[in-house]
Structures are given as C-alpha cells and as structure tokens.
C-alpha cells in the first residue's frame, strides 16, 4: 500500500500528463473508442479536457484522429510499448507520447504518459523556415556577387597586357588581381555550399586515378604552401588506384584540406599527404604540424560557419565553409571524413575514406594533354546584358586577334547575327527582351545560322540547364564567370569549317 501511495503521489505531482485508458473494440477487434479510467492533475492542463475520468474519447472529441485509437489498440493487444509524436487536431495540440500496457492483457488497459509539445513544434517550424530563408539568401547572394567578378577579372587581364611599365600601376594591377581572385574563391565556396545544401549539385563522375586527383590538388595548393615556407610530402602507392569520381570536386576536397593545413600553421611547418588502399577503399590522410584543434571543437569542425578562432589573423581567411564542403562532397562520393588532433599546438590530421573501383584495369588511352593551341582568329559575337561583362570579354577577345561585336539583349543579338555573320556567338541566357534559349533557336533558323558555334554563358550550370541549352541548339555550355583560359581552349579545339 505504501508503494502504491508513493507512485500515486508521483503521478499526481508531476507536470506531464498521465492517464490510464481502456481501449474498446467491436466484435472484429477494430478499435472504436477508449475510456479514461484515471487521469492525473496535469492532464487537464495538457489537454484542455475537463473531468475526463469515466468519459469516452469519441464523446469528448468526435473528430479525434483514428490514428490515436489504432496506436493504443495495438499496445493493448500486443503489449509492446510505443513512443511517438503526433498532432491532435481537435485539441489543437501536438503531443509527445509514451504508451504501455498495464494490468492483465484481457483488461486492455493502457497507461499513457504525454506532454504538450505544440510550442516546441512551432519554434522548430520557425527555425526550419529561418534556415531555409538563410540558404535561399546565401544562394542568391553568391549568385549576385559572382556576376560582377567576371568583368573585373577581364579588366585586370586587359590592364596587365596593356598598362605602361609603371611600377605603381603594375603593383596596383597585381593587388586587384589577387584580391579579386580571393573574393571569387569565397563566393564560389558560398555558392557551392548553398547549392549542395539545396541538393543542386550533380557530380560528373568518371573513372579517375587517385594520382590525378592528388596532383591537381597539390598543384593548386602549391602557391600558398610555398608562400608560408611549409614543406609538403606526398606519398601515394605506386600501383594505380581507380575511383569513380568527379575529378574537380575531389581535387577541391584535397585542396581545401591542404590549404587549411597551410593556413593554420606557423611558418615553415610540415604537411604530409598520404594515401593507402585499405579494405575496399582508399584512405587519404592530410596531416600537419600546425596549431591543432581543441578537443571540444572537433565534433563541430565540419559544421557550416564553424571557426575555432575568429580573432585569428584572417589574411588567408575564409567563411568557415571549406570543411562543410569537404564533408558534403566526400559523402556524395560515398565516403567519410574525420578530423583528429591531440589539441592546441599539436597539429591536425584529416582522414578521408573513399570507395575505389574494383578489379579491372583502366580502359582506353591516356587523357589528352593540356596543351592549348592558340586559336585561329574568329568573328565572335558577345551577348550579355551586363555591359561591363560583355565589353571586357570583347576587348580581351579582340586583343587575341579576333573580330568581335557586342549586343546587350536577345533581339539585338539576332539583328547582329544577320549583319555581322559571326563564326561564334557567346550568348548569355538571362537576357532582356528575348532570353538566350529563344535567341539561340531563332539564330539557328536564320540563314547561315546552322554553322554558327553557339556557346551558352549562364550562372547556373546544372544538368537541367545543360539539357535545356542543348535543346535550344547550343553547342556548348559555360558557367559564369567564364575563365578566359577555358574559353580560349574551347575556341582552339573547335576549328572553323
């Protein structure tokens, strides 16, 4: 009796709702209702139902969802306890519920322990909404910030080629170049991470050798590593290791890790990049003798915008999304990444695990060399409603010996094609008056339009966009801001008829 008294007190005093119900079935064992046998003090506050004891739920709330009756019936019949969250529309509340059978099975008594979580659900909803807004804002921001960068980079190249040999001017050009490069990197990271978050990145997977991925990352990280006087040791197995992977994206992963190693280390440190086959995959370590990572930060290091020490000299600064990108890209390749560190001052180690392609040897010949032949002079029409972008690209192309015209909207582009008869049209997609897809279609229909090389220039490089531009009659698709070198390469590869 003492014990029962104690438990009764507990249920009366506690702040969660508690009740014992008897589940009522029809002859086919279909649950039709339940009756409240006992309720505790908090029951009324948690449900808004007064004097429930002895009454039937269907009488109290006729529209109470069938779900509730089914769940309690199952507990009563099977004796298996359940925990769930569900909405009760007629009570205008959400509940977190734990239900278990008590007494003899044939009694069909169920004890229900629950709390009203409406407020929590509302706040969670708001948080999700805020998070979505943030992602959308970031994507928009990155997209908008990216556009002005292309003309600035073009203008810098022109300056480089043409500016008189005045040391101050050359210095100023270098400063703009470096800073714009840095800004492009930040904006690209931001754009990448928001695209990945929104599931908008597709990998272009192909068979690649690990060595190729490593080389590309090491090449790209060299300037930063040398700048700080670090020593990099790369050890990869002599036998080829093949991955089914997106070369650019995986190089980006290793590059981010190498750059971090270089950034978060005093001058003249050491970095090791080591790869070894293990199990059905390959392990890649990037290890440094740098400032290390405090143990309490390790679990959060891959979270977006996480930075250990914001007060750090931010000369090589980032936004705290490099490692988020690393993790997401590795996961998209079916791999994992971990961070280890013995603590501040003890260096850091990042371990990437990736699946490899089993067995058979690579097919076909070696990859084409990267030699860029200087393209023959062409007649090129550049179409972009961002005048700076169009004009600067035109000027650069002219400096390479091409004959170049510009147009700033879709209709103008069609007119220009008729008069100028270009060999190549570089056509922006988001254009006023007539968008790039429609302009491309009409250009193809014009006399002589079939032989023109049409290149789409867009801010969005997803599969869907590529498919649409192909349908509209484009031969190629380039994502803005266009790397001038990549454009040169494209022009060189496609010789005029």
Hey, what are 305's tokens? 């915008």
Q: Is 306 in the site for ligand ADP (CB under 6 A)?
A: yes
Cα 298 to Cα 341: distance, rounded to the nearest angstrom: 8
Least distance (Å) between residue 173 CB and ligand ADP: 27
Q: Is 141 in the site for ligand ADP (CB under 6 A)?
A: no
> Quick one: which of 329, 328, 323 has its CA closest to 250?
329
Contact pick of 348, 392, 406, 469 for ligand ADP (by CB under 6 A)? 348
Contact pick of 76, 112, 284, 321 for ligand ADP (by CB under 6 A)? 321
Contact pick of 48, 318, 344, 430 for ligand ADP (by CB under 6 A)? 318
CA dihedral of 87, 90, 91, 92, whole degrees rounded to 10 = 60
Cα 471 to Cα 436: distance, rounded to the nearest angstrom: 12
Distances (CA, A) of 312 to 291, 299, 318, 438: 11, 20, 11, 51
| Residues in contact with ligand ADP, shown as a per-residue x/- string from 283 to 302 under the rule CB under 6 A | -----x-xxxx-------x-
> Quick one: which of 143, 146, 178, 152 has its CA closest to 396?
152
Least distance (Å) between residue 137 CB and ligand ADP: 19
Q: Is 319 in the site for ligand ADP (CB under 6 A)?
A: yes
Specify the residue, 124 or 231, whose C-beta has the smaller distance to ligand ADP. Answer: 231
3-class SS of residue 281: strand
Least distance (Å) between residue 266 CB and ligand ADP: 11
Contact 97, 84 (CB under 8 A): yes
Least distance (Å) between residue 13 CB and ligand ADP: 48
Least distance (Å) between residue 457 CB and ligand ADP: 29
Residues 6+ apart with CB under 8 A from 140: none
Specify the residue, 55 or 270, whose C-beta has the smaller distance to ligand ADP. Answer: 270
Specify the residue, 312 or 486, whose C-beta has the smaller distance to ligand ADP. Answer: 312
Specify the residue, 39 or 301, whose C-beta has the smaller distance to ligand ADP. Answer: 301
Least distance (Å) between residue 333 CB and ligand ADP: 18
Segment 65-84, which members bind ligand ADP (CB under 6 A)?
none
Q: Is 190 in the site for ligand ADP (CB under 6 A)?
A: no
3-class SS of residue 390: helix
Cα 223 to Cα 388: distance, rounded to the nearest angstrom: 30
Hey, what are 273's tokens? 């990049």
Q: Is 337 in the site for ligand ADP (CB under 6 A)?
A: no
Least distance (Å) between residue 470 CB and ligand ADP: 36
Least distance (Å) between residue 136 CB and ligand ADP: 21
> Quick one: which of 96, 127, 130, 98 has its CA closest to 111?
98
Per CB under 6 A, the segment of 37-45, 147-155, 194-202, 322-330 that binds ligand ADP is: 322-330
Q: How many residues bind ligand ADP (CB under 6 A)?
A: 22
Q: Kindly report the CA angle at 140 between 395 and 381, in degrees rounded to 5? A: 25
Hey, what are 330's tokens? 């590795």
Cα 117 to Cα 92: distance, rounded to the nearest angstrom: 11
Cα 426 to Cα 411: distance, rounded to the nearest angstrom: 14
Segment 211-270, which members bind ligand ADP (CB under 6 A)?
256, 260-261, 264
Specify the residue, 103 or 318, whose C-beta has the smaller distance to ligand ADP. Answer: 318
- Residue 366 has phi, psi (to 5 degrees) of -65, 160
Contact pick of 52, 323, 425, 454 for ligand ADP (by CB under 6 A)? 323
For binding to ligand ADP (CB under 6 A), which residues are involved? Answer: 256, 260-261, 264, 288, 290-293, 301, 306-309, 318-324, 348
């Amino acid at each position: 009796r003492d014990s029962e008294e104690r438990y009764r007190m507990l249920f009366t005093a506690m702040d969660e709702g508690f009740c014992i119900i008897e589940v009522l079935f029809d002859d086919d064992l279909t649950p039709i209702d339940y009756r409240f046998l006992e309720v505790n003090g908090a029951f009324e506050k948690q449900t808004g139902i007064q004097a429930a004891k002895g009454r039937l739920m269907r009488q109290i709330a006729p529209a109470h969802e069938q779900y509730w009756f089914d769940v309690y019936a199952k507990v009563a019949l099977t004796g298996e306890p359940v925990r769930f969250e569900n909405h009760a529309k007629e009570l205008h509340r959400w509940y977190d519920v734990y239900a278990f059978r008590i007494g003899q099975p044939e009694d069909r008594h169920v004890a229900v322990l629950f709390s009203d979580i409406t407020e929590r659900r509302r706040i969670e909803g708001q948080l999700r909404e805020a998070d979505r807004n943030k992602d959308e804002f970031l994507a928009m921001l990155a997209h908008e910030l990216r556009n002005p960068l292309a003309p600035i980079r073009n203008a810098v190249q022109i300056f480089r080629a043409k500016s008189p040999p005045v040391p101050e001017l050359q210095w100023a050009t270098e400063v703009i170049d470096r800073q714009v490069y840095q800004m492009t990197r930040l904006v690209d990271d931001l754009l990448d991470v928001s695209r990945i978050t929104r599931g908008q990145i597709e990998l272009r997977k192909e068979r690649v050798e690990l060595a190729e991925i490593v080389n590309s990352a090491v090449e790209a990280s060299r300037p930063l590593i040398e700048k700080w006087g670090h020593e990099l040791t790369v050890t990869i197995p002599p036998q080829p290791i093949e991955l089914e992977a997106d070369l650019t994206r995986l190089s980006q992963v290793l590059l981010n890790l190498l750059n971090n190693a270089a950034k978060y280390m005093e001058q003249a440190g050491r970095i090791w990049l080591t790869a070894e086959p293990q199990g059905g995959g390959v392990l890649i370590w990037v290890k440094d003798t740098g400032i290390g990572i405090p143990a309490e930060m390790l679990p959060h290091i891959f979270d977006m915008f996480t930075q250990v020490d914001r007060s750090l000299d931010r000369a090589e600064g980032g936004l705290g999304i490099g490692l988020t990108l690393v993790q997401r890209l590795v996961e998209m390749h079916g791999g994992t990444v971990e961070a280890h560190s013995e603590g501040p001052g003890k260096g850091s180690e990042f371990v990437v695990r990736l699946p490899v392609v089993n067995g058979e040897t690579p097919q076909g010949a070696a990859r084409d060399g990267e030699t860029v032949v200087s393209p023959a002079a062409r007649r090129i029409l550049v179409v972009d409603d961002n005048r700076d972008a169009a004009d600067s690209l035109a000027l650069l192309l002219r400096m390479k010996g091409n004959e170049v015209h510009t147009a700033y909207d879709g209709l103008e582009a069609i007119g220009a094609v008729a008069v100028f008869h270009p060999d190549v049209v570089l056509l922006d997609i988001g254009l006023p008056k007539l968008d790039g897809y429609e302009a491309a279609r009409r250009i193809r229909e014009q006399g002589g339009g079939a032989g023109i090389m049409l290149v789409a220039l867009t801010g969005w490089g997803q599969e869907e966009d590529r498919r649409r531009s192909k349908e509209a009659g484009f031969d190629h698709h380039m994502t803005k801001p266009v790397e001038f070198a990549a454009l040169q390469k494209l022009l060189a590869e496609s010789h005029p008829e």
